[in-house]
Chain A
Amino acid sequence: ELKVEQNPLFLSMQEGKNYTIYCNYSTTSDRLYWYRQDPGKSLESLFVLLSNGAVKQEGRLMASLDTKARLSTLHITAAVHDLSATYFCASQETRGKLIFGQGTELSVKP
């Protein structure tokens, strides 16, 4: 059974600081996704990582994938309050099924 584990589950950051969220998955996977969820809302797609060594960046967020270590990271640079949300990684099996991590609740404080 494919499992996806994130850490930390809760993250309180000061504005301007850097931090990394880790996502480990337990079996070989085709793809790794990162999503953002604001309270009461659905998911917003951030990144899709398709191959070993893939790195994608958007603004203050950068995601990477290491398929050999079965690890993906979401790095936050110089955090701002607007980044406060819950972040999910998800690994995709064949036939499109997504397995989600537990989510990381990020709070950025001034």
Chain B
Amino acid sequence: GAVVSQHPSWVICKSGTSVKIECRSLDFQATTMFWYRQFPKQSLMLMATSNEGSKATYEQGVEKDKFLINHASLTLSTLTVTSAHPEDSSFYICSAGGVADTQYFGPGTRLTVL
């Protein structure tokens, strides 16, 4: 139980295009999902907290207009990187909040912007 999937697992795009990443909780409902970004050899940094049916809460320094988050259902949150640039290349990991605030992590999406 408590499986979280992400799609796609990797994506390569050209600079200036937008990329959407999906995060799904497969066997449980998650009112809260979290989006993290991890650069090579670095730790995970929380980008935003996504709440079903309401606006996401962004961490300081994260551009809400660039990283659009939608949490339209209890099993799906999406992160759209708009007008992507090479510096947005990173490993994006989502997690879904389960019982007693336990977080279940997705497998991650590797984004490469050319």
On chain A, the residues within 8 Å of B32 by CB distance are: 95-96
- Enumerate B19-78 residues with CB–CB distance to A below 8 Å: 32, 34, 42-46, 49
Please, which residue of chain A has its CB at the minimum distance from the CB of B33? A96
On chain B, the residues within 8 Å of A43 by CB distance are: 44, 93, 105
On chain A, the residues within 8 Å of B42 by CB distance are: 102-103
How far, in whole Å, are A7 and B102 apart by their CA atoms in the complex?
A: 25
Task: Check A68 for interface membership: any CB of B closer than 8 A.
Answer: no
Interfacial residues, chain B to chain A (CB-CB below 8 A): 32, 34, 42-46, 49, 93, 95, 97, 101-103, 105-108, 110
A96-B34, A100-B43 known; 14 new pairs, CB 8 Å cut-off, are A42-B105, A42-B107, A42-B108, A43-B105, A88-B43, A95-B32, A95-B101, A96-B49, A97-B49, A98-B34, A98-B103, A99-B46, A100-B44, A101-B43
